[in-house]
Structure 1
Amino acid sequence: MNQEWYSVDEISTILKLHKKTVQRFIREGKIQGTKIGRNWMVSPNSLAQFAHQELSTMPNELEEEREEPSMEVTTHVTYKGYSLYKASSISNSIMAALAEPDPTRGHVDFNFSYQESAQTARYSFTGDCDFMIQIMNMFKNMSLNQD
């Protein structure tokens, strides 16, 4: 008989739990798992048993483990006709601003690249919506100040 098995990632999606929580439940024996190679796998019967028995007895623990919904936005700003010096100067200013502690900012990624042959600078940002609004306003003000 060919039996379907679920990976830790699949179970975490089904149960809406973080995968580390699923792994912990397997280690603690709350979910019966079988190690196949380097991966833990769970049979449909074991998953059903856990869902019927354990979920009804521990809702508070599971609620604490769920990840909060979040959204990140990624944007790219491209400037053409800038020298490497000017583009790097802007990048350094951005990095200095991002280095300042700001507890409201959350997770932020910043990347900078420069294509010498086209004299094109590309600034890439990932962060929450409020951060993106600040970044776009900063670039808008830079553009207005150049005119």
Structure 2
Amino acid sequence: MKEKYYTVEQISEMLNIHPKTIQRYIREGKLQAGKIGKSWRVTGHDLSVFMESTRPQAGKVTIPLNKNSDYEIKVSSVIDIDVKGMDDAIRIMNTVTAALNTNLPEYGHPTMHAQFLESECKVRVTIWGNIQFAQAIIQLIMELVEIIRQEDY
């Protein structure tokens, strides 16, 4: 039997949830999805798993996001780092990527994108995740930049 796939828009209509919220669930890993072209697709099985995991319990209307609270704060940030050249840029991007790949449970399901803007001699790091993740990445970048600058002198 052929697996049925749903678009973000179809799921949004079925669950009466805004499409951006469905996309956020996908980014956070709460709803498994795959990309076909430029659009996300969710299998019927993955949608069922998601529905079971988010079913309200005992009158609660929020989805518990961590052990301590029914609420979770998300942070997004763009960090521009002036660098002397490609070598410093690669070092920063590799270190930040390695930190993201530690997959510590307290960081939830963060996302990060890093790029070297050669014309500006700048590394741009974009992060999205919980406050603990954002704080750790920003602290890491601050320390790494300090090390690189000390090595230059």
C-alpha deviations, 1:39-66, integer Å up to 9, x for none?
xxxxxxxxxxxxxxxxxxxx84663x74
Name the counterpart of 1:124: 126
CA shift, 1:143, in A, is 3.3
SS in 2 for 1:67: coil
Return the alpha-carbon distance in structure 2 between the equivalents of residues 61 and 93 of structure 1.
44
Q: 1:10 to 1:121 in 2, by over 3 A?
A: same
Name the counterpart of 1:67: 63
Could you tell me which amino acid in structure 1 is paired with residue 63 of structure 2? E
Alpha-carbon RMSD across the aligned residues, in angstroms, is: 3.1
CA shift, 1:108, in A, is 0.7
Match 1:137 to one of 111, 124, 139: 139
Name the counterpart of 1:96: 98
Identity percentage over the alignment?
A: 19
Return the alpha-carbon distance in structure 2 between the equivalents of residues 91 and 80 of structure 1.
13
| Residues 82 and 121, structure 1, Cα contact 8 Å, conserved in 2 | no
- How many residues are treated as equivalent by the alignment? 97
Return the alpha-carbon distance in structure 2 between the equivalents of residues 12 and 79 of structure 1.
37
Q: 1:90 to 1:70 in 2, by over 3 A?
A: same
When Rg is computed on C-alpha atoms for both structures, the one with the higher figure is 1
CA shift, 1:112, in A, is 0.9
| Residues 92 and 144, structure 2, Cα contact 8 Å, conserved in 1 | no
SS in 1 for 2:84: coil
SS in 2 for 1:142: helix
Could you tell me which amino acid in structure 1 is paired with residue 102 of structure 2? E
Q: TM-score scaled by structure 1?
A: 0.53
Q: Please list every run of 5 or more consecutive structure 2 residues that lacks an aligned counterpart in the other structure.
A: 1-11, 23-55, 65-70
CA shift, 1:87, in A, is 0.7
Q: Please list every run of 5 or more consecutive structure 1 residues that lacks an aligned counterpart in the other structure.
A: 1-6, 20-58
Q: After the TM superposition, which segments of 4 or more aligned residues of structure 1 sit over 6 Å from their partners?
A: none
